[in-house]
Amino acid sequence: MKRASFNQLGLPVWLLLPQLVIIGVFFYWPAAFALRSSFYLEDPFGFGSTFVGLDNYNGLLASAQYVKVAVFTLGFTFLVTFFSLSIALVLAVKADKVIRGTRTYRTLLMWVYAVAPPVAGFLGVMVFYQGNGPMTEFLAWFGYEFRLGVNYYDTAAAMVAVATWNHIPVNFIFFLSGLQSIPQSVKEAAMIDNRSGTGRFWDITFPLLAPTAFFLLIINITYALFDTFGMIDALVKGEPGNNPMTLVYKVYVDGFRGNDLGGSSAQSVILMVLVLVLTVFQFRVMDRRIHYT
């Protein structure tokens, strides 16, 4: 097979230039600005700044509230990732076996993908509304008073439920595609070797889905950390108070509402470092256990 190559350096540079400019303007420049601001005490009105070194970082690490938000973010990310992947995998396995009404069944499972996170948060407010929300009234039948935006754990449960519901269709699409790409001959051979459907799934089907599952694991962690911002803002009604929040939302609250530009910049730098470490761990450690061929 002949390998494609460029005779001159100018053409590939011009082809890459638009993408490099976009990355530089919307990622590297803001990241560098945030890194610089994290070492300064910024005036909220833009009249000046004072170099404070690592004081912003030391203040965050010594803050009990920041540690509490970090712990909640880890728990929130784990729960959303676990439930989104597990529920989507079950639905994909069931959809793969549907013979009649396949298109209708799959469409009903995938349409939620079109709902943006802020809209999903607004729908969550309607479902868990204290006055006449369907889920609130359902829980009231069992004697439990669900108080969204008032009770810390109730709000956290609503956040996990809405975030999971909003991201299941993405996982469902990829899992279903992965299941349908498994050769029929492999499925028939597995049926001969193992009569148990559960045994065939864990011994044959799931290992073949490992590359897809690994990709979705990264996507779901990224989604829970970053893309749930609009949903959380809608659920806490713009007044976080003592309600749970993620690290990304705390950056917004402290920076744009508390006018602590230096502290919020330090938080964004810490978050970037954590994501970098997590990404390296996933690809260097977990990826070695995944076989793509």
Question: Average model confidence (pLDDT) for the chain?
Answer: 81
Contacts of 280 (CB under 8 A, 6+ apart): none
Q: Does 3 or 20 have the greater pLDDT score?
A: 20
Q: Is 103 exposed, middle or buried (0-12, 13-18, 19+ CB in 10 A)?
A: exposed
Residues β-bridged to residue 41? 50
- The predicted pLDDT at position 285 comes to 63
pLDDT at 14 exceeding the cut of 90? no
Planar angle of CA 8, 9, 10, nearest 5 degrees: 95
DSSP assignment, residue 49?
E
pLDDT band at 286 (very low <50, low <70, confident <90, very high): low
Q: Which two tokens stand for residue 268?
A: 């964004």
- The predicted pLDDT at position 257 comes to 77
Q: Does 276 or 48 have the greater pLDDT score?
A: 276
Contacts of 198 (CB under 8 A, 6+ apart): none
Highest-pLDDT range among 11-15, 71-75, 99-103, 223-227: 71-75
Q: In percent, how much of the chain has pLDDT > 90?
A: 9
pLDDT at 215 exceeding the cut of 80? yes
- Between the two ends of the chain, the Cα-to-Cα distance in Å is 20
- The predicted pLDDT at position 6 comes to 66
Decide: helix, strand or coil at residue 4: coil
By the 8 A CB rule, do 136 and 99 touch?
no
Q: In percent, how much of the chain has pLDDT > 70?
A: 85
pLDDT band at 163 (very low <50, low <70, confident <90, very high): very high
- The predicted pLDDT at position 3 comes to 63
- Give the C-alpha separation, 276 to 274, whole Å: 5
By the 8 A CB rule, do 92 and 220 touch?
no
DSSP assignment, residue 50?
E
By the 8 A CB rule, do 251 and 70 touch?
no
Angular region, 259: left φ>0, alpha ψ -120 to 50, beta rest = left
* Helices 64-97 and 102-110, packing angle to 10 deg: 170
pLDDT at 203 exceeding the cut of 80? no
Residue with tokens 């690290």: 247
- Give the C-alpha separation, 211 to 39, whole Å: 41
Q: Does 197 or 148 have the greater pLDDT score?
A: 148
- Give the C-alpha separation, 258 to 3, whole Å: 56
Q: Does 4 or 230 have the greater pLDDT score?
A: 230
The single-letter code of the amino acid at 236 is V
Q: What is the pTM of this model?
A: 0.81
**Inter-CA distances, 29 with 14, 20, 32, 34, 189, Å:** 21, 12, 5, 9, 55
Over residues 3-19, mean pLDDT: 77
Domain segments of the chain as ranges: 49-288
DSSP assignment, residue 2?
P
Please write the tens of the pLDDT for every residue from 70-124.
899 999 999 999 999 999 998 888 877 765 656 666 666 666 767 777 888 888 8
Please write the tens of the pLDDT for every residue from 130-143.
778 888 888 889 88
Look at domain 49-288 and name its CATH class: mainly alpha
